[in-house]
Amino acid sequence: MPEASTTEAAFRVGLLRADGAIPEGVTDGAGRPAGRRYDVYRNNVAVALREALETGFPAVAKLIGPENFARAAGLYLRRDPPETPLMMQYGASFAAFLEQIDALRGIGYLGDVARLELAMRRSYHAADAVPFDAGRLAALEDSTLRAARLILAPSVQVVRSPWPVLSVYRYTMLPDQPKPQARAEDVLITRPEFDPAPHLLPQGGAAFIDALRRGLTFGAALTAAGADFDLPATLTLLLQQGAISDLQTA
Amino acid sequence: MFDTPSPLPPLPGVGYKPQHYSAILNDPAPVGWLEVHAENYMGDGGRPLAQLRALAERFPISVHGVGLSIGGPERLDPDHLARLTHLVGWLNPASFSEHLAWSTHDSHFLNDLLPLPYTLTTLERICDHIDEVQEALGRPMLLENPSSYLAFAESTMSETDFLREVTRRTGCGLLLDVNNVFVSSVNLGYSPQDYITAFPMDAVGEIHLAGHDEDEDDFGAPLLIDSHGREVAEPVWALLDQVLKQSGPRPLLIEWDNDVPDWPVLAAEAQRAQAALSQGALPPSPSGRLPRDIFGQKKPGGGAHA
């Protein structure tokens, strides 16, 4: 494959650099140096990536305000440009990046809000699945159920947080929401049809779902969920939301 | 199950935006086909794919890629080409097109269409990449002319000569973006009419129209920005008339990607495209040439459509 020319190479390297250097060998139509014509490309790249982040993380943008978000996004897109042309996947490391910015350390929950938004985006684009018929569950003997495996729909996501991440998210994005109270919150994201919906998980719910995802049996997942696990509430939520796509008996 | 796809009809189309989904299904006139960006439909499921499947039952679909980086010196991303092959395989769209541009550097995707010099080296590179795409997809593709804000001193070929040679070597078709021609001609100071006259029109399988913004360069010269955020400018409609006289009716797309308007505004642009297509179906004037002053119309929105 033919190599890039010197000008091409300089053009490419300069796009994500903030120092304003203009590559040699690019001109206007009359042979004069391109100057800010090159900045149009540099600006297009920065704006396109920043807008992708704004689209993907609207609650983060609201929490810190558009100017702070633009500054954070500008740093992030230079440090972590997209790895693929699928912008729907961009920003997987944004939460961890936000947590490293000193000026944002005071907003402890910010990273987890970003994780929640990323999880909702992943749920939105996940493969479709036909919900499992809850009647099949009720028909099982207790011992058969304990040995069975529940298969989660691909759109199911869980976010665990020491912060009231769902309350903060709702307070930020929806009208008339109660002020968040200081507490840890685990969030289940389901997608009954096309729109991902976040739900607060009962005690032990996240550990239970994590165990199911790892392929453990129903009985083993119950054990993993701990003594305080609220099975009826968790199971009702999963079934009502179409979050279980299959049941495999031993 | 793979039928040979029918080509795009020589009718107005629009770039599909999800907010127009219901409006398009309820009242598409005069829109005869839709174009989607390939990369937005490479997820595993959910609403985007469900909508695309439903739309494909009603309309011919053009898949327009923005991520292959055909113009870059690196080899094509095999994962991305595989994703594209999968999409084109199940959708069997009427057309697939990509850009004479690059977008990936050191495996980082920059989400913009970036320019390249026109030399024998880049010609060979582009042709290799197009061969690879056409082989993977099992069909010819269309290649779109870019909008340019600067020129490469090392270029040895004109853009039209470069594109003609690409079509000759690879058998690909061309997507003629008339707004890009106008934007580049103003930015680089050449005649858009001469560009159109020199364009290999026989290879054109689709035409694009879009709006642009106005800025200036360091010397105060006009610098047009290909923004896709407003109505098509009057001089671009005028240039389209010249194109259609040379080409005859072709599939004609309105692109509106930023500050996307409500459906009636976009449908009105498509209506105007329909009128231009009907006009262009008339035989060329006896002289065979257009009056030279069609470029003289100044601002977008000023004056009646010629």
Alpha-carbon distances, residue A75 vs A19, A46, A88, A218 (angstroms): 13, 10, 20, 45
% of chain B surpassing 90 pLDDT: 88
* Structural domain for B38, as ranges: 12-296
Contact A125/B46, CB-based, under 8 Å? yes
Contact A237, A140 (CB under 8 A): no
The answer to whether B184 faces chain A, any CB pair under 8 Å, is no
Contact B117/A154, CB-based, under 8 Å? no
Q: Which of A25, A85, A194 sits opposite B50 (nearest CB)?
A: A194
- Which 3 state secondary structure label does DSSP give B62? strand
Alpha-carbon distances, residue B177 vs B31, B184, B244 (angstroms): 18, 11, 12
A145 Cα to chain B: minimum distance (Å): 30
Residue B134 lies in a domain: yes
- From first CA to last CA, the distance across chain A in angstroms is 54
pLDDT tier, B6 (very low <50, low <70, confident <90, very high otherwise): confident
Q: Which helix (H) or strand (E) holds B276?
A: helix B263-280
B158 Cα to chain A: minimum distance (Å): 12
Residue of chain B whose Cα is closest to the Cα of A37: B149
Residue B210 lies in a domain: yes
pLDDT at B293: 38
Report the complex ipTM: 0.94
β-pairing, A149-152 vs A244-248, is: antiparallel
A12 Cα to chain B: minimum distance (Å): 7
pLDDT at B184: 98
Contact B35, B253 (CB under 8 A): yes
Residue B170 lies in a domain: yes
**pLDDT tens digits for range B152-200:** 999 999 999 999 999 999 999 999 999 999 999 999 999 999 999 999 9
- Which 3 state secondary structure label does DSSP give B160? helix
The answer to whether B152 faces chain A, any CB pair under 8 Å, is yes
**pLDDT tens digits for range B77-110:** 999 999 999 999 999 999 999 999 999 998 899 9
CB pairs under 8 A between A and B: 161
pLDDT at B282: 56
Residues of chain B contacting A86 with CB distance shorter than 8 Å:
39, 42-43, 67, 83
- Phi, psi at residue A195, to the nearest 5°? -105, 115
Residue spans of beta strands (DSSP E) within B158-272: 173-177, 204-210, 213-216, 222-225, 252-255
Q: Which of B43, B68, B189 sits opposite A88 (nearest CB)?
A: B43
Which residues, other chains included, contact B124 with Cβ-Cβ below 8 Å and sequence gap of 6+?
A2
Question: Mean pLDDT over residues B202-216, rounded?
Answer: 97
Specify the number of domains making up chain B. Answer: 1
Which residues, other chains included, contact B192 with Cβ-Cβ below 8 Å and sequence gap of 6+?
B181, B182, B185, B186, B239, B295
**pLDDT tens digits for range A187-224:** 999 999 999 999 999 999 999 999 999 999 999 999 99
Alpha-carbon distances, residue B25 vs A153, B8, B194, B242, B255 (angstroms): 30, 18, 40, 33, 18
**CB < 8 Å from A in window 52-91 of B:** 66-69, 73-75, 77, 79-80, 83
Contact B108, B72 (CB under 8 A): no
Residue B300 reports pLDDT greater than 50: no
β-pairing, B12-15 vs B33-37, is: parallel
pLDDT at B280: 73
Residues of chain A contacting B112 with CB distance shorter than 8 Å:
41, 44-45, 48
Contact A194/B74, CB-based, under 8 Å? no
pLDDT tier, B4 (very low <50, low <70, confident <90, very high otherwise): low
A197 Cα to chain B: minimum distance (Å): 13
Contact B77/A85, CB-based, under 8 Å? yes
Contact B101, B70 (CB under 8 A): yes
Q: DSSP per residue over A146-175, as a string? A: HH-EEEEPTT-EEEEESS-HHHHHHHHHST
Residues of chain A contacting B68 with CB distance shorter than 8 Å:
85
B150 Cα to chain A: minimum distance (Å): 5
Domain boundaries, chain A: 1-107, 128-250
Rounded to whole angstroms, how far apart are CA atoms B246 and B243? 5
**pLDDT tens digits for range B223-279:** 999 999 999 999 999 999 999 999 999 999 999 999 999 999 999 999 999 999 998
Contact A82/B108, CB-based, under 8 Å? yes
- Which 3 state secondary structure label does DSSP give A132? coil
Residues of chain A contacting B76 with CB distance shorter than 8 Å:
none
Alpha helices in chain A (DSSP H): 6-14, 36-56, 58-64, 66-79, 94-99, 110-125, 134-138, 142-147, 165-173, 205-213, 218-225, 231-240
Tokens of B279: 């006009």
In this prediction the pTM is: 0.92
Rounded to whole angstroms, how far apart are CA atoms B117 and B110? 18
- CATH number for the domain that contains residue B175: 3.20.20.150
Residues of chain B contacting A125 with CB distance shorter than 8 Å:
43-46, 48
- From first CA to last CA, the distance across chain B in angstroms is 47
β-pairing, B142-144 vs B151-152, is: unpaired
Rounded to whole angstroms, how far apart are CA atoms B114 and B105? 10
Residue B305 lies in a domain: no
